[in-house]
Amino acid sequence: MSVLAGKIAMVTGSGRGIGRAIAMKLAGAGAAVVVNDLDDEPAAETVTLIEGLGGRAIACNGDVTASDFGDRIVHAALTGLGGLDIIVNNAGYIWNTTIQRNTDEQWQAMLEVHATAPFRILRAASEHFRASAKREMAADNLVQRKVVNISSVSGMYGSATQVAYSAGKMAVVGMTHTLAKEWGRYGVNVNAVAFGFIETRLTQEFEEKPAEIEVRGQQFKVGFPADMAKQMHQRISLGRPGRAEEAAGAVYLLCLPEADYITGQVLICDGGRL
């Protein structure tokens, strides 16, 4: 029997990269998944991949920073898949620069996607978690639910040119600690995973000029010069960056029944870089 059979998971930013790997990992363990991306096409690809495994998945696409998105994606899980047991707040991107060049727009954008969006999603889920727990406790059958917020070693320890990104990623750690205390009585484990150097389109190497990604019609430079990336790899104990599937494995660990007595923790997944 699949270890997460009967569970319903939500993974934001799961059309690509780490988010897709997380969605696939949870689906492979038996969970039904609400997939999300800014764009319809990558989300549809993830849904198709999950269905190819024999799993269930639906897409709830759009900008996680929209004021109504939290309510919308929780509603999609409850009505489209019939419940909500696992939330992975993964969506995000980087917008780096030194502090003297950091604009108010840039600061707010990083806080919105990495802290405010998870806050709104978890606020929207709170009524379902509380009401479900009360019914289950009355029947002496409390179901353990899971929240995994995605942070970064940049949030935990700082990183040059990432003052706004780091602030957003550390904010979600504070949220994690707080909700672990608030929601323990409802049987909800709230933890975070802080990633180090994971191979994604945001960390790709380049020789001459960086690649760009588009977010809400705006272009953002991503990646690292090849020589800088090599130096960063040398500081990792395992000698290499992590793969998206390995990052997904760290999240998966905290979603297992074996993690039912772990809450309020930050698991660092960085190959020993620190």
What tens digit of pLDDT does each residue of 27-85 get? 999 999 999 999 999 999 999 999 999 999 999 999 999 999 999 999 999 999 999 99
Residue of higher predicted confidence among 263 and 234:
263
Average pLDDT, rounded, for the chain = 93
Query: What integer pLDDT is reported at residue 202 of this predicted model?
Result: 67
Q: Cβ neighbours of residue 68 under 8 Å, at least 6 residues apart? A: none
Residue 252 is among the residues annotated as catalytic for this protein: no
Helices 244-255, 17-28: axis angle to 10 degrees equals 50
From first CA to last CA, the distance across the chain in angstroms is 37
pLDDT at 234 > cutoff 60: yes
- What tokens does 49 get? 């991949």
pLDDT at 1 > cutoff 60: no
Q: How far is CA 183 from CA 121, 133, 179, 258, in A?
A: 15, 10, 6, 18
Report percent pLDDT > 90 for the chain: 81
Q: Cβ neighbours of residue 167 under 8 Å, at least 6 residues apart? A: 107, 110, 111, 155
Half-sphere exposure of residue 26: CA atoms within 13 angstroms, side-chain side: 36
Query: What integer pLDDT is reported at residue 121 of this predicted model?
Result: 98
Report percent pLDDT > 70 for the chain: 90
Name the phi and psi angles at 257, rounded to 5: -60, -30
Look up tokens 């995973």; give the residue: 193
Quick one: which H or E segment has residue 172? Answer: helix 163-183
Residue of higher predicted confidence among 122 and 205:
122
User: pLDDT by residue (tens digit) across 147-198?
Assistant: 999 999 999 998 888 999 999 999 999 999 999 999 999 999 999 999 998 9
Residue of higher predicted confidence among 18 and 206:
18
Query: What integer pLDDT is reported at residue 219 of this predicted model?
Result: 72
CA distance 166 to 95: 11
CA distance 222 to 202: 5
* CATH for 8-202+243-269, options being 3.40.50.720, 3.40.640.10, 1.10.287.130, 3.40.50.2020: 3.40.50.720
pLDDT band at 218 (very low <50, low <70, confident <90, very high): confident
pLDDT band at 200 (very low <50, low <70, confident <90, very high): confident
Helices 163-183, 117-138: axis angle to 10 degrees equals 10
Which listed residue (93, 165, 186, 252) is catalytic? 165
- What tokens does 257 get? 């029944």
pTM of the model: 0.92
Residue of higher predicted confidence among 158 and 221:
158
Question: Is the separation of the CB atoms in 258 and 183 below 8 Å?
Answer: no
Query: What integer pLDDT is reported at residue 235 of this predicted model?
Result: 86
pLDDT at 211 > cutoff 70: no
**Residue 236 exposed, middle or buried by CB count within 10 Å (0-12, 13-18, 19+):** middle
Q: Domain coordinates of the chain in residue numbers?
A: 8-202+243-269
Look up tokens 């997380």; give the residue: 22
